[in-house]
Structure 1
Amino acid sequence: MGGRGRSRRTQRKHFRDGRENVWKNNKSDPQQQNEEKSPLHWEPFAVTNAAFEEYYKEQGIVRPEEWNSFMACLRSTLPAAFRINSSSQFCTDLLSQLEDEFTKSLQSEGADRNEAEGLKSLPWYPNKFAWQSSFSRMQLRKNKSLHRFHEFLKQENEIGNITRQEAVSMIPPLFLDVHRDHFVIDMCAAPGSKTFQLLEMIHQACEVGSLPSGMVVANDVDVQRCNLLIHQTKRMCTANLVVTNHEAQHFPGCHLKKNHVNASERDMTHLLFDRVLCDVPCSGDGTLRKAPDIWKKWGVGMANGVHCLQLQIAIRGLSLLKTGGRMVYSTCSMNPVENEAVVSEILRRCGDSVELVDVSSELPQLIRRPGLKSWKVREKSVWLASHKDACKHGRRGIVPSMFPSGQAHLDTSDDSNEKPTPMTGAEIIEDGISNKNVDVDAAAAADADGDVIVTELSSLPLERCMRFVPHDQNTGAFFIAVFHKISDVPVLQTKSNKQSRELHADGYEKVIQDEDKDINGMDLSNEETTADKESDDISLGSNPSKKLKVQSPNKATSRAEKANDKRKLQIQGKWFGVDPVVFFQDEVILIGIKEFYGIKDSFPFSHHFITRNSDTNHVKRIYYISESVKKVVELNFLAGEQLKITSIGLKMFERQTSKEGVSSPCMFRISSEGLPLLLPHMTKQIASASPVDVKHLLQYRSVKFQDLVDDGFREKVSTLSLGCCVVVLNKGNEGSSDPPVVDKSTIAIGCWKGRSSIAVMVSAIDSQELLERLFIRFGTEKGSLPDVNCDEVVNDDGDEVKENSETLTVVDTEVKEDSETVTVDV
C-alpha cells in the first residue's frame, strides 16, 4: 500500500510541475513554423566512403585507369533482372511475349532509344531465359507499355512463372552443372532465388506426370529467413525439396552407426550430395548498387569478422560432397579476405583431395576476371602484408589464413635466440593453439627493425577463380570458385588410434571418436545431432514408415506403460516449435482417394505420403514426397532425426472442412499445387471442356450446367460425382478420348461439381493468368471479354462463391482453396 501511495504522489507531483510536451509544437518559433510549412524531401543515401575507396585502391581490384568507371557504376542504380522458370509449361509463351509484345511495342510506339534498349535478354544465360530491365520507376509510370510490362512482371512472379533475381546471383547455379538425378544442397539458401534455380534444373526435361530422381536440400540458420525461403520455393510446386534449419558449418551428416541393424544392407547409410552450393554470408559490399545503405556502414572489420565462418561453411560443404562431386563457393563481396583467402586455405587444408576447377571455357559470353594472387589485410588503420606484421602490431584477431601464404610466423623453439620458424595453419592446429612454446612476442621482437613490408604472393592457381565487377556488364559484384572433389578430405591423425583431430577454420581443434565420423573423416557430432546416443529404442522394423519409438534413458518404462500413456509424442519433438514429419498410413483413406479419382497403379502411391500432424485422425493436409526425399526421411528417422525439417513435400490433398463427406463420397480434394503431378494418372472426375466454357468458368467463377456451351462437356459434368473434379481444356485434337490426353501444354483447372453447377477452385490471380494464356493461344482480344468480378458471384441455383485474396469458398459445400497454382506445370 505504501509503495503504491508513493507512486501516486510521485505521479501527481509530475503532473503538477508540468513536464515538457514533446508532441506539442511551439507556434511562437517562426523557424519551426517555416519548417512545418515546407514539404519534407527525401534525402538519398550518401554514395561515398573514403575508407572504402582507399581499401580497394590498395587491393588493386581494378586497374587504375578503370577506377573512375568502376566507382561511377557502383554509384548508379542497379538494373532489375528476372528469370523465366525453365520448367514452367508456359516458358516458351512468356519468352515470345517478351520478345514480340514488349520489346517490339516500345520501338513501334516511338519510344526513346534508351528505353528500347532498356529491356534485353542476358546473352550469357542459356536459352534467353534471363532478362534485364534498366527502366526507372518514373519511366514505368509515364509509358503505358512499360506500365503493362510492370504489371506483367508482378503477376508472373507471384504465380511462379518468372523469378526476380539479380543478374550475378544467377551465375553460381549455372557452374554447378546440375542434372536431374543429383542430390543438391544449398547450405545458405535464403531468400531462395538460387534454390528455385536449382529446382528448375532438377525438373528440366522431366516427363509429364513424373518426378526427377534427384532432390534439393535448402538450409538456412535463421527461422524467419526459412519462412521466406519456403514462400519463395512454394511457387515451384515440387515434391523434391526439403527445407532445413541448421547452422551451415554444423550441418548434420545424418549417418547410421556401424552397429545399426541392417545398416550395411541399406542403399543409403549417410547423406552425401553430388552438388554443394556455398553462397556464404559476407560483408555484401558487392550489393552497393541495390543496397546503398552499405556505403555508410562499410568497414574493413565486416570482412575480417566473417572470414572464419565462411571457411567453416566451405569445409563442411566439402565434407558433405561425394567423391567426384562439384562445389561452388560464392560471395557477393569484393573483398579478397572473404574470397581468395578462403579459397587458398581450402586448397592448403585439403591438399590433393580437392581441385580448383578451371571453368573459363564455360559460358563464354559471360565477362569475368581472374582471382587475385596477392592482397593485404587491413585492421583498423594498419595495413598488414603478412601474419608477421599482424604479430608485430599485436593484431591477435587476424588469423594466418587471411594472407596469401597462409603461414603464421611464430617462434616454436625453446631457444629464444633462434629465428622464428614459419608455420602453416594446419601445423598450428596440430601443435596446439595453447602450446606454451609458441611465443608471439618473441616473433614480433625479432622483426621490429623497421623492415620493408613485402606483400606475399600466393603460389596456388587462384587465377581459376572468377571475379565479377559492376562496370564490365552493368551488374553487381560477385566472386565464384568451383571445386572438384577428387578423394576423401584428409584428417590429421594423432598418436591414438581411437581418436582423430579435425581441422576447424577458426583455429581450434575438436577431438572426436571414430564412430562419429563419416567416410570422409569429418566431424558429424554436435549437440543437436546426437539423438541416437540419447535413445535406446529406435525401431522401424521392416516398414520404415512406421512411427519412431524413442525411449528416454531417464524413463525405464515398459511398453505397456507407454501404451497407456495418453500424451502425444511427436516424432520431431526434439526440435522445439517444428511440426513433426509423419508417414500417412491410413489405408482406408488412401484407398478411398485412389478409387474416387481413379488413380493408376503407375503412380507411386504407397509410402509416399506424409503429414505434419502426429494425430493422424485429424489430418487436414496430405503431402507427397518423391522417392529421393523418401529415402532421406527414412534415413533421418533411423539416424535419430538429426535433420530439423521445416518444410517438405508437395501438398497433394486437403480435407473438406465441413459436412464430412456428406456432399462428396471422398473426404479429400486435390490441391492445386499437386494437380499437375497427379492429373496424368487420373481416370475419373475429369471432363474436357471447350475454350469458350473454360473462359466462362474463369470469368464468372461458377456456371450452371444449362449455361454450358459444349453439349458433350455438359453431359460429362452431369455424370461426375459430387465433389472435386478437374476440367481440362480441349484443344480440338483430343477427340472423344476419356480420360483426355494430357501433355506438357495441357491447361487444367481444379473445380467443384455441385448439384446443378460447377465452380472453379483457383485464386483470382491464377484465373487472370490462365485467361492471358488463352488470349495468346487462341488469338482472342482481351477487350472483347467482360470484366471478372472476383469478389462475389452467385450461381443460378443459389450456390454462393466468394473470392477473397487467396481463399475461395463454395458455401453450399464449404470448400476452401488456398493454393496458388492450378495449371499443369511440369
Structure 2
Amino acid sequence: MSIDLLYRSLVRTSISSSNHFVSDFPHHLAQGLFANFNEKSTRTIMVHSSRRKFNGKKKPHEPRENTWRDDRDAPGNQGYREVLKENEKYWTYYKEQNVFPIEQFDEFRAALQRDLPVSFRFQGCHKDREQLIHEMESRFFGKIMEAGDTAVCVPKSLPWYKEAYQTPMSRTAVRSHPILAQLHNFLVTEAELGNLSRQEAVSMIPPLLLAPTSEHYVLDLCAAPGSKTTQLLEMIHENDENPKGMVIANDVDMKRCYMLIHHTLKRFRTAACAVTCEDAARFPQISDSDGGLIQFDRVLADVICSGDGTLRKNPEIWKKWTPQDGLGLHRMQIAIARKGAQQLKVGGRMVYSTCSMNPIEDEAVVAQLLRDAKGSLKLVDTSKLLPELKRESGVTQWKVFDRDMKLYNSLDDISEEKMKKVIVQSLFPPTEEEAKEMNLHYAMRITPHAQDTGGFFVALIEKVVESDFDGSAANGPAWKKKKMFKDEPFTFLKLDDERWRDIHNHYGVDDTFQYQNLFSRRLESNDANSRQLFYANDAVKNFVKENMAKVSIQNAGMKMFSRTEGKVENTRFRLSQEGIRYLFKFMNKQKVKIGAEDMLYMLKSEENLVPLEKLECKTDVRKNQNGTVVVYCDEDEPVCTWVGYHTIAPYISKEERLHLLRMMGVDCAEIELLMKSKRKEKAAQDREAAWQRKLEEEKTAGQPSTSSDGAPTEQISESPAENIQEMADAEPAQE
C-alpha cells in the first residue's frame, strides 16, 4: 500500500481537527523576518520559507548532503536567533540579592546563557500512559543510543516527576536533528491529542503542590496558554472520569483565551472546565444556585511577571531587562494575589508563583499579602514536598534598585517626585519581627543551574480563617480590556426537549444520562436551530447558569452532538468523537463491537469510504440504522463512524488514527515523516500568507507601523467584525 496515499486518506477523512488555533508568530522570529524592512527598501525582505518562487514557478529541489549540521550561527542565518546573552544590570542585581549562594554565581550565569532543555510530560490520567511511555522508550531511545552521536541526548525522567521527561538539547535541535525526527513526530502527534504536553519543567510544579482531587473547585486566575490548567484537569480526573469538581480557567486577554481553549478543551476533552475572560485582580465573586457565594478549594495565581527566569527561552529579554520591570508589576501582583485569597475557602490552598527569581515580585508580594490578611493566611512549608526537586528557600532580606541600579534602603531615600509613585513601602523587606511570623523561608525558588531548568518561584498558602482585607490596600491598575463583541449565551435543554427525544430514541441513551446538562450557544428564542450541543457536569452547569450575566464565559464543557442534514440518517444529530468516551457507556443502540482486523483495515485504508463488504463485521454494522455508528474493540477507545448504504468512514482526526494504530502495534514511522513534511509545507504557506497580509495592511495604511525598538508591529483592527473574523479563523467559538 502507498504510504503517500494512506496519508492523503488520513487527511481527507479527518474532520475533527479542521479548525486548529494558529499560534502567535514567535517574537524573535518576527524580528528576524522584518529586520531588513523599511519604507525605502521593500525588496530586501528576508522571508524564511521552503516555498520561494523561482521565475514564476516553484524552485526545483537540489540534492543535499544527507548529514546534519548546526548552522544556525552561520553567516546570514543569525536573523533568527543572534542575541547577545549579556546584561550587566541583571548580573549585578542578582549578585546583590543573595537568593542563592554567591559561590554558585558562575554556574548560574553559564546556565542562563545556554538554551532551555526540552521537557514534556505524559497525561496523568490517560489509560494508555504506561503503554505510550513504553512505546517511546523502546522504539526511539534505543535507536538514539545506538547512533553514538554525542550531540544527541536521550530524554530522561525528571527525578521529582516520573511521568515527565527532559533532554538537555534545545527545542530547535530536537526539531531539526535527523536522529530525533521520529521522536519529534511522535511528540507532536500525541501532544495534538492531549496525550502528552510539551511543557517547561518548572511550570509543572504549581499543580503538583496544589494536588486537587475530583471533588475540588479549582480557579486558575492567569491560565493562558493552558499547560498548568491541563495538568490541574488531569489531576481531578485521576480517579474519576466524571469528577464532581471543576476548573475555572481565566485570562484577561481574549486572544489568549482562544489559545487557552485550544490547549485545554480542544485537547483535554472534559465536561468539568469553563474558560472565562476577566481581569484577575478584579475577578468577580461568583454565585451558587442557593444564592450563596462559590469559594474554591484550590487557587492558582501564576501572575504576570517580568519573566526574568525565562531568559533561556525568551532571549529578547536580555537586551531590555532592568529592575524597573519588577517595580512596575509589584502592585498588580499584590492585587491578583489578594483576589485569589479572597476566592479561597477556609482550609483551601493557593499557589502564588512567578517565572521570575526577583524578590520584589516574589517574597515582597507574599509578605504584603500576609500583612493584608491579618492572620487569615499562612505559608505552608514546602521543604518536604517533591523531595527530589532542588530548590532554594525563600529569603527575608533583599535590596530595592531602580532602573539605573540606584539603591533605596527606605522611602526616605526617594528624592525624585516621580519615583514616589513607583517605590512603595511594600517593596522593602519585612521587619525582623514580621519575618519570624511570616516564615518566608517556607517558599521555594528554582534556580536554572540547580537542575538545568528555567527560573521559578512558588509559595504555597493556606487559608486558616475567613479573610477581611482592608479595602484601602493596594489594588493595582485596572486592565483596559477591549470588549469586542457580546458573549454568546448558554441555553440548557429543558425537561422533555424535542431534540433530546430524537437523540434518546435513536441512540438508545440510558435514562440515567443527565440530558439537561446539554446546552447550546444560542439565545433561547433561537435555540431550536442550534447546530451543536455541548455537555457540562453539574458544577460547571451551576457556575454557568448563575454567573453568565456577570462573568465573561468564553467556553465550557465538551461537544457531544452536531446537527446533520444527511439524507440517509434517521436523526438530526450525529455523535461527536470529542464526547463519545463519556456518552458511550450510556448508549444501547448504534454501537458495534468489531475485531481488531476490521479496525486496522479501516484505520489503514487509503479509501475515503471503506466498503462494508471488505469487513468481517458487515452484518453487525448493517443491523444498525444508517448514519453515526460507534465501533470499538476496546470500550475505552470507541470510534465514531458514518455508515452509508454500502460504506463506512471513521469520524476521527489523522492524529487520533495514528495514536490508535500505535496502540495496536503498527509502525507509523513513514506516515509520521509525511505528516511532518506536510506540517512544514503548511507552516511555510502560512508565513508567506501572513507576510502578504502585512504588506497589504501597510500599503493601505500608507506606512509601516513600528514598535519602540523600530521593528514593525501588528495592527489590530478596532472593528469588532474584523476581530471576530480573525479569531474565528484561528479557533471558532462553540457555535
Match 1:617 to one of 506, 520, 528? 528
Q: Report the CA distance shift for 1:169/1:331 in structure 2 as closer, same or farther (over 3 A).
A: same
Q: 1:390 to 1:785 in 2, by over 3 A?
A: closer
User: Relative to 1, partners in 2 of residues 1:103 and 1:269: Cα closer, same or farther, differing over 3 Å?
Assistant: same
Kindly provide the amino acid, as one letter, of the partner of residue 168 in structure 2: S
TM-fit CA distance, 1:282:
0.3
Choose which of 480, 487, 490 in structure 2 pairs with 1:578: 487
Asked if the contact 1:371/1:464 (under 8 Å) is kept, the reply is yes
After superposition, the Cα gap between the structure-2 partners of 1:340 and 1:589, relative to the gap in structure 1 and judged at 3 Å, is same
Measure how far apart 1:575 and its partner are: 8.7
Match of 1:597 among 507, 515, 525: 507
Counterpart amino acid of 2:269?
A: C
Residue 48 of structure 2 corresponds to which residue in structure 1?
A: none
Q: CA deviation at 1:223?
A: 0.4
Q: 2:600 aligns with which of 681, 695, 698?
A: 695
1:501-540 equivalent positions in 2, closer than 5 A:
502-506=471-475
| Aligned match of 1:390 | 414
SS at match of 1:170: helix
- Residue of structure 1 in register with 2:632 after alignment: 728
SS in 1 for 2:652: coil
Q: CA deviation at 1:786?
A: 14
How big is the shift at 1:593?
A: 0.1
Select which of 426, 439, 444 maps to 1:401.
426
Q: What are the residue-to-residue correspondences of 1:677-716 with 2, within 5 Å?
A: 677-700=582-605, 701-708=608-615, 710=616, 713-716=617-620
Distance 2:77 2:112 in 1: 24
- Matched with 1:464 is 442
SS at match of 1:694: helix
Q: Which consecutive residues of structure 2, in runs of 5 or more, have no partner in the other structure?
A: 1-38, 45-73, 676-685, 687-728
Deviations 1:20-67 (A, max 9, x none): 975689xxxxxxxxxxxx973415101001111111111122222111
Distance 1:618 1:505 in 2: 48
CA contact (8 A) 2:120 2:196 kept: yes
What is aligned with 2:277? 245
Deviations 1:5-27 (A, max 9, x none): xxxxxxxxxxxxxxx975689xx
TM-score (norm 1): 0.69
Q: Does 1:588 align with 2:498?
A: yes
Q: 1:24 to 1:68 in 2, by over 3 A?
A: closer
Residue identity matched to 2:497: E
Q: In the aligned structure 2, how far is the partner of 1:617 from the partner of 1:581? A: 13
Q: What whole-Å deviation, never above 9, does each CA across 1:217-273 have from its counterpart, x for those lacking one? A: 0000000100100010020011111100000010010247xxxxxxxxx55621211
The one-letter code of the counterpart of 2:559 is K
Provide closer, same or farther for how the CA distance between residues 688 and 315 of structure 1 changes in structure 2, counting only shifts above 3 A: same
3-state SS in 1 of match to 2:293: coil
Q: 1:403 to 1:771 in 2, by over 3 A?
A: same
Secondary structure of the residue aligned to 2:374 is helix
| Equivalent of 1:169 in 203, 207, 218 | 203
1:145 offset after TM fit, Å? 4.2
Secondary structure in structure 1 of the residue aligned to 2:309: helix
Under a length normalisation based on structure 2, what TM-score does the superposition of the two structures give? 0.77
Tell me the SS of whatever aligns to 2:285.
Answer: coil
Q: SS where residue 67 of structure 1 aligns?
A: helix
Partner residue, 1:484: 462
Taking the aligned partners of 2:419 and 2:174, their CA distance within structure 1 comes to 52
Distance 1:137 1:204 in 2: 29
CA positional deviation for 1:317: 0.5
What is the Cα deviation at residue 458 of structure 1? 7.3
Aligned residue number for residue 628 of structure 1 = 539
Residue 680 of structure 2 is matched in structure 1 by none
Distance 1:255 1:760, change over 3 A: closer
Q: Which amino acid aligns with 2:590?
A: Q
Q: Do structure 1's residue 284 and structure 2's residue 284 form an aligned pair? A: no
The question of 1:202 aligning with 2:239 is answered no
Partner of 1:218: 249
Offset of 1:134 from its aligned partner?
Answer: 2.3
CA contact (8 A) 2:99 2:392 kept: no
Q: 1:666 aligns with which of 555, 571, 582?
A: 571
The Cα shift of 1:503 comes to: 3.6
The aligned counterpart of 1:104 is 142
Q: Is the CA contact (8 Å cut-off) linking 2:186 and 2:672 kept in structure 1?
A: no
- Once the two structures are TM-superposed, the CA of residue 677 in structure 1 deviates from its matched residue by 0.5
TM-aligned CA distance change 1:466 to 1:163, over 3 Å = same
Q: Secondary structure at the match of 1:589?
A: helix
1:408-423 mapped onto 2 (5 Å cutoff): none
Q: 1:299 corresponds to which letter in structure 2?
A: T
1:115 aligned partner? 152
Q: Determine the structure 2 residue equivalent to 1:474.
A: 452
> What is the distance in 1 between the residues matched to 2:456 and 2:603?
44
Contact 1:373 1:458 in 2 (8 A): no
Query: Any idea what the Cα deviations from partners look like across 1:509-556, whole Å, max 9, x if unmatched?
Result: xxxxxxxxxxxxxxxxx999xxxxxxxxxxxxxxxxxxxxxxxxxxxx
Q: How large is the Cα RMSD of the aligned pairs? A: 3.1
Which amino acid is 2:234 matched to?
E
2:661 to 759, 763, 771: 771
Q: Alpha-carbon deviations, 1:731-756, whole Å to 9, x = none?
A: xxxxxxxxxxx3xxx32211011011
The separation in 2 between residues aligned to 1:622 and 1:23, in whole angstroms, is: 49
Considering only CA atoms, is the larger Rg found in Structure 1 or Structure 2? 1
Q: Could you tell me how far 1:763 is from its partner in structure 2? A: 2.0
State the alpha-carbon separation in 1 of the partners of residues 622 and 408 from structure 2: 81
Whole-Å separation in 2 of the counterparts to 1:609 and 1:747: 23
| CA deviation string 1:313-348 (max 9, x = no partner) | 000110000011000000000111100000111111
Matched, 1:653 2:691: no
CA distance in 2, matches of 1:295, 1:142: 25
1:340 to 358, 363, 377: 363
Gaps of 5+ in 1: 1-19, 26-37, 257-265, 408-423, 425-455, 493-501, 509-525, 529-573, 731-741, 790-804, 806-817, 821-826
Distance 1:719 1:290, change over 3 A: same
**Corresponding residue SS for 2:319:** helix
Which SS does the other structure have where 1:278 is aligned? strand
Distance in 1 (CA, whole Å) between partners of 2:381 and 2:294 is: 28
SS at match of 1:131: strand
Between the aligned partners of 2:148 and 2:479, the Cα distance in structure 1 is 62
- Whether the 8 Å contact between 2:335 and 2:476 is mirrored in structure 1 is no
Q: CA deviation at 1:767?
A: 1.5
Q: Is contact 1:188-1:281 (8 Å) kept?
A: yes
Q: 1:308 to 1:609 in 2, by over 3 A?
A: same
What is the rounded CA distance, in whole Å, between the counterparts of 2:402 and 2:285 in structure 1?
36
**Once the 2 structures are TM-superposed, how far is the Cα of residue 85 of structure 1 from its aligned partner?**
0.8
1:507 CA drift (Å): 8.2
